Structure 1
Amino acid sequence: MDIATLIGLTMGLGAIIGGAVLEGLHLTALLQPTAAIIVLGGTFGAAFVSFSLDVALGAFKDLKKLLTSSPKNDDLITEICGYAAKARKNGIIALEQEGQTHKDRFMKKAISLSVDGVEPKDIRELLEIDLGAEEESAKMSAEFFEAAGGYAPTIGIIGAVLGLIHVMSNLEDTSKLGAGIAVAFVATIYGLVTANIICLPAATKIKNRIKDDTVRKEIIIAGVVAIQNGENPRFIEERLRSYLGSHAKRGGDVAEEGRSKG
């Protein structure tokens, strides 16, 4: 479970609702089913128009990445080194069971190729093609939510305008004029919240998961190729841990660049 996602959603929505309550606004004023239908339906309808059905459905499936934490690469390295020691002692064929039963599809494929006697360079080539294809698919999911985040505020304005049209068509009852205008602008709030609390953060989180998953798969590729080459498990461990260092360094460089710009 990714606690950061839960904290972020709770903090973001809580701050908006809490601020409204402190201003004396009744929560019932924010509960407008019509506005929700206009904003959510219009936003994701426009996103579906922009992308193929497979991409759109895949994007919603990838929402689970918002609530799941990335596996620890330290544990992955330990696992691979265990496979290396086993293969070094009993031969690569000793990993046949792992190649058939491993829960991770990418690891399962990598070990199976190795057990089948595929050349190390061919294993790397096949797995890198697989990695690239999955990475591109995941990027499309992020782009889907980025697009939805761009549409949502505009759809919110459309909802507000529709509400104002309704208000202006009933000007004879001036006692309800103020309340009607307030209700009309709820659609704008829904649009902004949908974009900035849900869609755009979801796109960013998916992109971060892509980076984590890419590093994990690069470790698997390097590890399995090294096992196939019969390298020493200790040397394999040192090589794989260098991926963690370079990944952390990239993150640090980005943070340092952000501080220098600030």
Structure 2
Amino acid sequence: MDVVSIIGTILAFVVLIVGAILKGTDVSALWNPAAFVIVFIGTISALLLHTQGKVLKRAAGMLKMVYQPPELHPSDLISRVIGWSEISRRQGLLGLEPHIDAEDDPLVKKGLQLLVDGSEPEAIRTTLELEVATREHADLQAAKVYEQGGVYSPTMGIIGAVLGLMAVMRDLTDPAKLGHGIAAAFVATIYGISLANLLLLPIGARLKALINKQTQVREILIEGLISIAEGDNPRQIESKLQGYLV
């Protein structure tokens, strides 16, 4: 569980509520059903029209990564690669076969299987890099859904504000209702801008950072497996892979 992301999400709501109180606004004024429908449902409808269903489904599934990021330990992976290298030097590449079923990551399984099958280093690189690139592209497309939502929601907020002002303009004969009506109209703008800048855009940026980190770890794996295929000794492999760590 990523405590920092949870705190950030909670603060996003606290900032609005405390800000409203400090400005002398009644907290209940922040709730407006019509504005909620226009901004939130409007943003979702725009995303449904803009994005393919499978991308939306992937984006929804990736949201949990923000609060429960995958365990990525490059140094541990390097140690495992070194261990595979030592096994292959003692027992040959076939000695790695028992270790395939023990792995959970499909990419690791495929890489070890390619080694055991005696594939050429370039064939291993081509196969694994293609899979990594395909997965990265799909993940980035899903992360962009949140960024696109961050583009649409402020516009939905403006639409909600304009519609609210139109309703107010029809009731100019009653000055007592003007202040309340105008305040309610701008709630939609608050919803739109807050949804974009406090949630959607940060979530998109966070997912992109996690995807880049995953890709880096996968690159370590590919380089390590190719080095084993080329017959490099464990110390050479370790020295090469340490270059990925900062």
Q: TM (normalized to structure 1)?
A: 0.86
RMSD value, Cα: 1.8
Aligned to 1:17: 17
Aligned to 2:68: 68
Shift in Å, 1:199: 1.3
SS at match of 2:63: helix
Amino acid corresponding to residue 108 of structure 1 in structure 2: K
Shift in Å, 1:171: 4.2
Unpaired segments of 5 or more residues in structure 1?
249-262
The answer on whether the counterparts of 2:59 and 2:142 sit within 8 Å (CA) in structure 1 is yes
The answer on whether the counterparts of 1:100 and 1:112 sit within 8 Å (CA) in structure 2 is no
SS at match of 1:197: helix
Residues 3-49 of structure 1: CA deviation (Å, up to 9, x unaligned): 33223223333223212122222222112232222111111211221
Say whether 1:129 aligns with 2:127: no
1:30-69 paired onto structure 2 within 5 Å: 30-69=30-69
| CA distance in 1: counterparts of 2:33 and 2:104, whole angstroms | 42
Question: Are residues 64 and 98 of structure 1, via their aligned partners in 2, closer, same or farther at CA, if it must alter by over 3 Å?
Answer: farther
Q: Between 197-206 and 10-19, report the one with greater CA deviation.
A: 10-19
Aligned to 1:258: none
| CA distance in 1: counterparts of 2:15 and 2:85, whole angstroms | 51
SS at match of 1:242: helix
Question: Are residues 177 and 242 of structure 1, via their aligned partners in 2, closer, same or farther at CA, if it must alter by over 3 Å?
Answer: same
| CA distance in 1: counterparts of 2:2 and 2:229, whole angstroms | 35
Aligned to 2:223: 222
SS at match of 2:68: coil
SS at match of 1:210: helix
Say whether 1:206 aligns with 2:207: yes
Aligned to 2:164: 163
Aligned to 2:85: 84
| CA distance in 1: counterparts of 2:41 and 2:64, whole angstroms | 21
Question: Are residues 97 and 21 of structure 1, via their aligned partners in 2, closer, same or farther at CA, if it must alter by over 3 Å?
Answer: farther
1:97-136 paired onto structure 2 within 5 Å: 97-136=98-137
Query: How many positions carry a matched residue from both structures?
Result: 245
| CA distance in 1: counterparts of 2:4 and 2:96, whole angstroms | 37
Unpaired segments of 5 or more residues in structure 2?
none
Amino acid corresponding to residue 120 of structure 2 in structure 1: E
The answer on whether the counterparts of 1:145 and 1:200 sit within 8 Å (CA) in structure 2 is yes
SS at match of 2:197: helix
Aligned to 2:139: 138
